[in-house]
Amino acid sequence: MHPALIVILSLIGALLFLWFVVFRIVRKFRLAPASRRSVTLLAMILENPVRRCFFSPAKLLDKVGIAVGMRVLELGPGPGFFTIEAARRLVYSESPGKLYCLDIEPAMIARLKEKVSKDTLENIAIMVGNGEHLPFKDGSFDLAYLVTVLGEVPDKDRALRELYRVLRPGGVVSISEYLPDPDYPLRRTTIAWARRAGFEPFQQFGNFFAYVVIFRRGYAEVR
């Protein structure tokens, strides 16, 4: 790619990302639900090609640990930046795994359904729901992952306890955060939250600006 084009795309990406941050800060102080227009704009920002260059779904999911045949929960998928890649990693088997996607924003779920409908994958279940009240039975999943989601959840303790409940004993949850997300928590803060719910970290990647922490669910009974 020509150097000048790289610079232009980088500037466009930086401006879009800045708008994304401002948009989210404004959203934090609004009581009304997001309009379809604002959700459409946010989805375009999240899916822009420049973001994909710097924050590749494949590279992040390599760290998450999704494997063939798993039952996986994606909490807060938004427009599906990671969804298709995650689902593809589950299907190369006689007993393909399944990916469940749950987001609190109906308009974002509508966009995700539209995106998934254009693919041939059949192992994705998509639903509107609240991370503080997960509509799944105890021990339903092998793995769950959240990307820049936990900081937005009002009751983080409850959401993490719910994740603990729906994961099988020994299952894992991956939490990814990066700056300049206005809801970005420090790594040690994320670890402290997860430990209160009964998780223990066993793998960590990244740096101060962007990190992934993998937690294992203990074998204790659900609280």
pLDDT of residue 5: 63
Whether residues 189 and 105 fall in one domain: yes
Range of the domain at 14: 3-52
Q: What is the average pLDDT score of the chain? A: 83
Whole-prediction pTM: 0.81
Whether residues 106 and 28 fall in one domain: no
Q: Number of structural domains, the chain?
A: 2
Tens digit of each residue's pLDDT (9 = 90 or more) over 44-87: 555 555 555 556 788 889 999 999 999 999 999 988 999 999 99
Tens digit of each residue's pLDDT (9 = 90 or more) over 128-166: 999 999 999 999 999 999 999 999 899 999 999 999 999
Whether residues 92 and 198 fall in one domain: yes
* Mode of pairing for the β-strands spanning 199-206 and 141-147: unpaired
Whether residues 36 and 83 fall in one domain: no
Mark residue 9 as left, alpha or beta (left: phi above 0; alpha: psi -120 to 50; beta: remaining). Answer: alpha
Residue 223 inside a domain? The answer is no
Residue 197 inside a domain? The answer is yes
Whether residues 7 and 93 fall in one domain: no
pLDDT-based confidence at residue 175 (cuts at 50, 70, 90):
very high
H or E element: which one contains 175? strand 167-178
pLDDT of residue 150: 95
Whether residues 115 and 184 fall in one domain: yes
